[in-house]
Structure 1
Amino acid sequence: MTNPLQPNQLQLKHAIELKNVRKVYRIGKEKVVAIDDVSLTINKGDICCLLGTSGSGKSTLLNLMAGLEKPTKGTIEIHKIPIHKLNERQLTRFRQNHVGFIFQSYNLLPTLTALENVSLPLTFRNVPKKIREQRAFAMLKAVGLESYVLHKPSQMSGGQQQRVGIARAFVTKAPVIFADEPTGNLDSKTTNDVINLMLNIARENGQTMIIVTHDQQIATHANRVITISDGNILT
């Protein structure tokens, strides 16, 4: 029997495929269409930007692609794995092994050091502590924070916290990285540094990255821009 969490071992061209995806929320007696019949293919290694204003549906689309929400209709595959068919336990395992996340609000655990925050995803993979710490330190060094390994989030600036978040997302070498407004809380100079850092790591590792943003300037860094408005893809 085929394991739904294991992709076909043949060389895959597409990282993500959506077909006729629709997401409808019920608010009282009303239906709100957040995503309206979207079909989309993203190739392996693409740096793709989902561009749109607040309320356009871009974050909902990212959540659907990441398996954080279920579509009302349609199919979603990552590396040929039909994530729309997976139950919650399977989705959790899938995200642990295939996906990395970078958040606008950093989402670091305040009681943990930078090293502990970065090594956390490896804990869920049952990687031995010594190896976890070696990999976490190597990633913190890669993002320029080797002297901050024992600092907690409250002891770091916003830009430094986001670098920790980037290190955490990349430490497992997940094939797909999702970044939801990753520079929304940063100033313009730090934004540029953080975007370049993310893209350099993703390109070096051949990873697919999906960035959600409303910032046209950030979109210029991507090799593909998908504009979303009212739950529909415009380009």
Structure 2
Amino acid sequence: MALNDISLQIHPGEICCFLGTSGSGKSTLLNIMAGLEKPTKGTIAIRGKQIEKMSEKEITRFRQKNIGFIFQSYNLLPALTALENVSLPLTFRGIPKKIREQMALEMLEAVGLKKHVAHKPSQMSGGQQQRVGIARAFVSKPPIIFADEPTGNLDSKTTEEIMSLMLRMAREYEQTLILVTHDRSIAEFADRIVYILDGNIEKVEEKSLIKAEEQE
């Protein structure tokens, strides 16, 4: 899906949701924002850096330091335990094994998986696997978290638990959380909803303004 004349600023600490149907361009937008794809024109600036001008090596290093990812399909390595999956991003940052395992353990406890640290993905439910994915994204406390349909494979009860968990952690660590979803109920968790249609921003809703209007 081609993107057309997209112009948007996301503020530090904001929880922003891109909402649109399948094929609307929202996942393409997320991939470009995260440096996974390069735009044919235009600028993507993150923390003062124009990432579209970076080499693959530079953008990989930039993502390791600044960005965490949460995926719909969990993207856990099946041969690794929960502890090993969560500590993986710390390995790339050169953190010693003892320290990264302690950090991963603390994060797994924070997402309610203290008893599952030695379990592999096949031994866990979908909700538990997504909690591991969240712990992995947050473990290095990157300033920005991208979440692509993070609850797409979960039931409604687990969805609410996972969304509440992500929001609590993002607020606690003062991180920017950028969500992509087709589900309006997920979008309701955000501070701002950006509607994407046919590669364009159709409209933007500031949730704080909506709530103020509802109270009047």
Shorter chain as denominator, the TM-score bin is over 0.9
Greater length-normalized contact order (CA 8 Å, ≥ 6 residues apart): 2
CA shift for structure 1 position 41 = 0.3
1:182-197 correspondence to structure 2 within 5 Å: 182-197=150-165
Query: Which amino acid in the other structure matches residue 152 of structure 1?
Result: K
Equivalent residue for 1:56, pick from 14, 24, 40: 24
Partner SS for 2:28: helix
Tell me if 1:158 matches 2:135: no
1:80-104, Cα deviation, whole Å (9 max, x unpaired): 1110100000010001000000000
* TM-score under structure 1 length normalisation: 0.86
Partner Cα distance (1:41, 1:152) in 2 = 39
Partner SS for 1:75: coil
Partner Cα distance (2:113, 2:175) in 1 = 22
Partner Cα distance (1:113, 1:34) in 2 = 39
Question: Structure 1: which 5+ residue stretches go unaligned?
Answer: 1-32
Q: How many residues align?
A: 203
1:19-61, Cα deviation, whole Å (9 max, x unpaired): xxxxxxxxxxxxxx52111111000000000000000000000
1:169 aligned residue: 137
Tell me if 1:88 matches 2:56: yes
- CA RMSD between the two structures: 0.5
1:1-12 correspondence to structure 2 within 5 Å: none
Q: Which runs of 4+ in 1 moved over 6 A?
A: none
2:4 aligned residue: 36
1:206 aligned residue: 174
CA shift for structure 1 position 138 = 0.3
Equivalent residue for 1:79, pick from 44, 47, 53: 47
Identical aligned residues as a percent: 70
Q: Which has the higher helix share?
A: 2
Equivalent residue for 1:228, pick from 192, 196, 202: 196
Tell me if 1:142 matches 2:110: yes
* TM-score under structure 2 length normalisation: 0.93
Question: Structure 2: which 5+ residue stretches go unaligned?
Answer: 204-216
Query: Which amino acid in the other structure matches residue 101 of structure 1?
Result: F
Partner Cα distance (2:171, 2:193) in 1 = 17
